Chain A
Amino acid sequence: MKQPKILLLVVIALLPLILVSCIPGGTQSARGWSGTAVDDGVIYVGTVDGRVVAINSSTQIQKWSYSTDPPATIYTTPIADGDLVYVGTYSGQVLALSTLARSQNLTFPQRGYGEWKWDCPKENAKSNAIVADLLVSEDTIYVSSSNGRVYSLDKEFGDQNWESEILDEKQRKLWTSPVIHDGKLYVSTFDGHIYALALETGDLLDWSFESEAGFASSPVIDEDTIFLGSFDRYLYAVNVTIDSDEPMWKFPEEKPAGNWFWASPVIHEGIVYAGCLDDKVYAVEAETGKKLWEFDAGNPVVSSPVLMDNLLIVIDESGTVYVFDLSTEIENEATPLKTTSIGADVRSSFCAQGSLVYIRGEDNWIYVVNIDMGEVSWKVNLTIEE
């Protein structure tokens, strides 16, 4: 009699742990959502198993693959620059990979080929993960880190030029990319600030902007105005020449949108195109914040839209590709020129070249969509088969 009672008590006591383990929690594991980049006929992408892969877009054959060591999740979209490919990892490293050295599968880093690796200091932060895309300028790479600082690295050797102050003391997470404008680096933070840093030293400049809510998307800049989305469900336009915490405008004008503006907007001929997690794409006048048209995709728009000549390409989370012709007049509600579904979820950034759109699906496949034909031209599985 005594043993079953004790057993019952053990089960009751362990019940919370058992249930907590069995029922899916609110957290999701870090899988990464590296986007695609195309350079000189080669597609570069980070995979969910921590590899950077180069695929020949003509032959659809993998040119090379580099496994991060130890394996690290990749959120950043690789940036190809000459013979080098730059990528940041969730384990806090920035890697410069030589396409020549990787094609020969040589040990990393091959300094003779210009390869290097930079380890982001963790300091007292919980993480030094690099989530935001790297910003590559002429001879410098700017890195936002989850330790709350921005770093400037020498593009040739990977040496650290400077580190900024901790910009987000509360969150210590910089998951948005900086942007350069007029010799200054602008960074948005989760605690609702936009800071201006000196490009050469990383020192905080006098100008800053403060909002009540945190900024969800990376800033983009056009002329003197920064456009970015916020967790308060507004799209902000902030003039960097005006020293005020009042934005130029907030969109929507009255009540907030149905969800966050997670993706960075794009600007074309004075119009801001912004995807929103409320399933819509909005076209807003850059000068005034007045809505020109909207389109309901029926699913959240997580990835930033891409512009190609007069075409606006939008992909919703369910993997449907919408193409809008911006040369025709659109009023109130837009109708896409073409619609194609890849049949896989999409959260990553994507790129377009010619009439092809290169997309990494959440299923770890690369899909190439021909927007003229309105179909998936070809696809490649990025998962290594056992």
Chain B
Amino acid sequence: MSFLDVWYFIIGNPVLNVLIALSHILGGSFGGAIVVLTIIVRLISWPLTKRQLKSSKAMQEMQPKIQELQRKYGKNQQKLQQETMKLYKEAGVNPLGCLWPMLVQLPIWIALYQAIMGALATTPESLLGLAHRLYSWDIVNQAIPLSSTFLWLDLAGQGDIILAIIVGGTMWVQQKMTQAPAVDPRQQSTSRMMLLMMPLLFGFISLLVPSGLALYWAASNIIGIITQYFFTGGWGYLKFRSPSQSTQ
């Protein structure tokens, strides 16, 4: 059994079949199936998200202490960084913790990419290849072949600029909500860079991958924003000014 066989057995084929079954349940809407799958993935990764949100909330609550440290060690950057990290450590908070849910979702993204391209069967070879990856569920076989149209999107096609903007925009909002402003000026520039770069990169990548995958990212971001809003009770750092900004 090759690595690829194991991959398809554990992740690739379950994602593909669940997606097709959902599509059939939703009256043949493959886009709707992607959105529902996003919700399922979000539910599965909820413990991780919850931890991240808790950490984010803790960081928000720590802001007065951080500002105090800023005032106290403003002139000694090394000390300020040390004290801030100490504070984070004591509170059990990781400022870059938001990356973990993304990394955990990576196998799902890859499986989803494969599922979208496989399920939509853009070539006759893909359609024939699909026969060997489907479960014997009636619900799956009755749904084949699928329509790739959803709203204005061709889910197998690439380069939808509106969707790319939505992906980038929602990612920026979600990150801005969760990312605590850094105190150290060097960290500040990295955080600022990350805040801008990640949405820009994902927006750009959205133009290169099938729209179905970009739809997953957009839906995932929107769900993330909603969850974050209700869990932390507001817009978080989206409305928050960093200590350096507030002192300027």
Do A and B pair up? The answer is: yes
Contact B118 A213, beta carbon cutoff 8 Å: no
Complex Cα spacing A30 to B127, Å: 11
Q: Assess whether B198 is in contact with A30, with CB atoms less than 8 Å apart.
A: no
Residues of chain A contacted by B186 (CB below 8 angstroms): 1-2
Q: A30-B124, A30-B125 are in contact. Are A20 and B110 (CB under 8 A)?
A: yes
**Residue A96 is within 8 A (CB to CB) of chain B in the complex:** no
Q: Does A15 contact B (CB under 8 A)?
A: yes
**Complex CA–CA separation, A113 to B121 (angstroms):** 39
Output the nearest chain B residue to A255 by Cβ-Cβ distance.
B136
Q: Is the CB of B124 within 8 A of A33?
A: yes
Is the Cβ of A131 less than 8 Å from the Cβ of B124?
yes
Please tell me which stretch of B54-62, B141-149, B237-245 contacts chain A, meaning at least 4 of its Cβ atoms lie within 8 angstroms of it: B141-149
Residue-wise, chain A 49-80 has the 8 Å CB interface mask toward B (1 for contact) of 00000000000000000000000000100000
* The residue from A28, A190, A233, A347 contacting B126, defined by CB atoms under 8 A apart: A28
A146's closest neighbor in chain B, by CB?
Answer: B124
| Chain B residues within 8 Å of A160, by CB | none
Pair B131/A260 contact, Cβ less than 8 Å: yes
A190 nearest in chain B by CB position? B145
A363: CB under 8 A from chain B? no
| Total chain B interface residues with beta-carbon distance under 8 A | 54
A29 within 8 A of B: yes
**Is A232 in contact with B141, judged by CB distance below 8 angstroms?**
yes
Interface string of A298-337 (1 = CB under 8 A from B): 0010100000000000000000000000000000000000
B209 at the A/B interface (Cβ < 8 Å)? Answer: yes
Nearest CB of A to B134, in Å: 8
Chain B minimum-CB-distance residue to A23: B110
Would A231 and B144 count as touching, CB distance under 8 A? Answer: yes
Smallest distance from the beta carbon of B141 to chain A beta carbons, Å? 5
Tell me the minimal C-beta distance from B98 to chain A in angstroms.
11
Q: Is A262 an interface residue (CB 8 A)?
A: yes
A183 contacts partner chain B, Cβ-Cβ < 8 Å: no
Q: How far is the CA of A131 from the CA of B125 in the complex (A)?
A: 11
Verify if A212 is at the interface (C-beta below 8 Å from B): yes
Contact of B197 with A by CB under 8 A = yes
Distance in Å: Cβ of B233 to nearest Cβ of chain A: 29
Q: Is A171 an interface residue (CB 8 A)?
A: yes
B144/A26 in contact, CB under 8 A: no
**Closest-CB distance, B127 to chain A (whole angstroms):** 8
CB contacts under 8 Å to A, within B87-138, are 99, 102-103, 106, 109-110, 113-119, 121-133, 136, 138
Query: Could you say which residues of chain A place their CB within 8 Å of the CB of B114?
Result: 23-26
Distance between Cα atoms of A126 and B12 in the complex (Å):
27
Chain A interface: which size bin?
A: 35 or more
Residue in chain B with minimal CB distance to A27 = B117
Residue from B12, B119, B141 whose CB has the most chain A CB atoms within 10 Å: B141
Known: A9-B198, A19-B110, A26-B117. A2 touches B123 (CB 8 A): no
Shortest beta-carbon distance from B151 to chain A in Å: 15
Contact A231 B193, beta carbon cutoff 8 Å: no
Residues of A close to B1: CB separation below 8 A: none
- Please tell me if the beta carbons of A26 and B115 are within 8 angstroms of each other in the complex: yes
Contact of B113 among A2, A25, A75, A302 (CB under 8 A): A25
Q: Which of B126, B127, B189, B197 contacts A13 (CB 8 A)?
A: B197
CB pair A302–B141 under 8 Å, yes or no, is no
| A10–B201 alpha-carbon span in the complex (Å) | 8
List chain A residues, Cβ under 8 A from B202.
13
Q: Which residue of chain A lies nearest to B157 when distances are taken between CB atoms in the complex? A: A126
Which residues of the partner chain B approach A17 to less than 8 Å between Cβ atoms? 205, 208-209
| Nearest-Cβ distance from residue B123 to partner chain A, whole angstroms | 4
Assuming the A-B contacts A9-B198, A17-B205, A262-B131, are A214 and B28 also in contact, with contact meaning beta carbons closer than 8 angstroms in the complex?
no
Given the known inter-chain contacts A13-B198, A17-B208, A26-B117, please indicate yes or no for A75 contacting B124, CB distance below 8 A: yes
Residue A380 interfacial (CB < 8 Å): no
**A26 and B116 contacting across the interface, CB-CB below 8 Å:** yes
Given A31-B125, A277-B131, check contact A214 B190 (CB 8 Å): no
Residue among A1, A16, A126 with the most chain B CB within 10 A? A16
Query: Is the beta-carbon distance between B125 and A28 smaller than 8 angstroms?
Result: yes
Write out the residue numbers on chain A whose beta carbons fall within 8 Å of the beta carbon of B122. Answer: 27
Q: Contact string, B165-192, partner A, CB cutoff 8 A, digits 1/0?
A: 0000000000000000000001001100
Check if A282 is an interface residue, CB within 8 A of chain B: no
Closest to A317 in B: B128
B131 touches A29 (CB 8 A): no
Contacts of A19 in B (CB 8 A): 106, 109-110
**Smallest CB-CB separation from A26: which chain B residue?**
B118
B103, B121, B123, B126: which contacts A12 (Cβ < 8 A)?
Answer: B103
The verdict on B66 contacting chain A, using a C-beta distance below 8 Å, is no
Interface residues of A in 149-180 (CB under 8 A from B): 170-171, 173, 175
Q: Is the CB of A29 within 8 A of B125?
A: yes
Decide: A6 and B190 in contact? CB cutoff 8 A: yes
| A370 on the B face (CB < 8 A) | no
Separation of A214 and B201 alpha carbons in the complex (Å): 40
Task: Identify the closest chain A residue to B113 (Cβ).
Answer: A20
Interface residue B160 (Cβ < 8 Å from any Cβ of A): no
B129 touches A28 (CB 8 A): yes
**Residue B4 at the A interface, CB < 8 A?**
yes
Query: Which of B117, B193, B208 lies in contact with A25, CB distance below 8 A?
Result: B117
Complex Cα gap A59–B194 (Å) = 68
Tell me the complex Cα distance, A206–B104, Å.
55
Contact A24 B4 (CB under 8 A): yes
Known contacts A9-B197, A173-B145; A26 and B125 CB within 8 A of each other? no
6 further interface pairs, Cβ-Cβ under 8 Å (given A1-B186, A302-B128): A26-B117, A28-B125, A28-B126, A171-B147, A213-B144, A231-B144
6 A-B contacts (beta carbon < 8 Å): A2-B189, A9-B193, A20-B110, A20-B113, A25-B113, A231-B142
